[in-house]
Amino acid sequence: NAGVMQNPRHLVRRRGQEARLRCSPMKGHSHVYWYRQLPEEGLKFMVYLQKENIIDESGMPKERFSAEFPKEGPSILRIQQVVRGDSAAYFCASSPDLGGSTEAFFGQGTRLTVV
């Protein structure tokens, strides 16, 4: 069973470009979570999605950031008009259900560098 797959692992964008980060959850997992980790800082929750639904986006910046988890295909975190402050590691996690005893598994992250 493959783990959570994120791609690309490294992404370089110029200021003003768009960044698209992809996350394929583990097989059988229908819940996806995105986290951001700024350099030398902790992991901050961004958004929680189920298939075709955004459940909690309380950690998402109000502008330029969006996320989706379509019925088919990976979850996408999209950052429009990137700025240098968006440079960070973005991690995706997945879990199979809502039970409190079910652990979430993380991918290896996408490291976004804005130049």
Partner 1 sequence: DAKTTQPPSMDCAEGRAANLPCNHSTISGNEYVYWYRQIHSQGPQYIIHGLKNNETNEMASLIITEDRKSSTLILPHATLRDTAVYYCIVRLNNAGNMLTFGGGTRLMVKP
User: Is the CB of residue 114 less than 8 Å from the CB of residue 56?
Assistant: no
Among 29, 75, 33, smallest CA distance to 57 is for 33
- Least distance (Å) between residue 81 CB and partner 1: 26
Please tell me whether residue 10 binds partner 1 under the rule CB under 8 A: no
Q: CA–CA separation, 77 vs 57, rounded Å?
A: 12
Kindly tell me which of 9 and 15 has the beta carbon lying closer to partner 1: 9
Number of residues located near partner 1, criterion CB under 8 A: 29
Determine which residue in the list 25, 33, 60, 79 makes contact with partner 1, applying CB under 8 A: 33
CA distances from 9 to 32, 57, 90, 96 (A): 18, 23, 10, 24
Residue with Cβ nearer partner 1 (15 or 27): 27
User: Which residues in 46-75 contact partner 1 (CB under 8 A)?
Assistant: 48, 55-56
